[in-house]
Chains A and B, each alone.
Chain A
Amino acid sequence: MPKYSLNDDVTLYAEYFRSSRRREKGRLERNLSYVPRWQQLLTKLNDNTPERLLTERLAKLKDLMKDNGLIVTKKTGFSYGREYNTRYKKGDVEIKNLTTEISIGPSGTVSVDVYKVPKKDEGYYYRPKAADKVIRIYIGEETRVTNNVLRTLVNKA
Chain B
Amino acid sequence: MIEIDKVNFDGILSSFKKEREGLAYNLKRKLDRAEKWQARFVKLTDAKIEAAAAERLEKIKKLAVASHITIYKLNVGSVNASYHRGDVTMELSGWLQISNEGIVSLDLFTYAPGYQRAVRISVGKRTTITNNILQILMSKT
Q: A residues bordering B, Cβ < 8 Å? A: 4, 6, 9-10, 12-14, 16-18, 21, 24-25, 28-29, 31-32, 34-35, 38-39, 41-42, 45-46, 50-51, 54-55, 58, 61-62, 65-66, 70-75, 80-82, 84, 102, 104, 108
Contacts and interface: CB of A to CB of B under 8 A. Distances in A.
Given A25-B41, A84-B7, A45 B24 contact: yes
Q: Mostly helix, strand, loop or mixed at chain A's interface?
A: helix
B44 A28 contact: yes
B41 A32 contact: yes
A66 B2 contact: yes
How many B residues are at the interface, by size bracket? 35 or more
Contacts of B44: 21, 24-25, 28
Contacts of B7: 62, 65, 72, 81, 84, 102
Contact of B31 (A25, A42, A65, A104): A42
A117 to B, nearest CB: 18
A41 to B, nearest CB: 6
Given A6-B61, A17-B98, A82-B12, A28 B41 contact: yes
Given A17-B98, A104-B12, 5 more contacts: A24-B40, A38-B34, A45-B27, A75-B6, A108-B16
A66 B37 CA distance: 53
B36 to A, nearest CB: 10
Contact of B73 (A4, A73, A80): A4
A66 B15 contact: no
A39 B32 CA distance: 11
B7, B41, B44, B96 — which one has the most chain A CB atoms within 10 A of its CB?
Answer: B7
B32 to A, nearest CB: 11
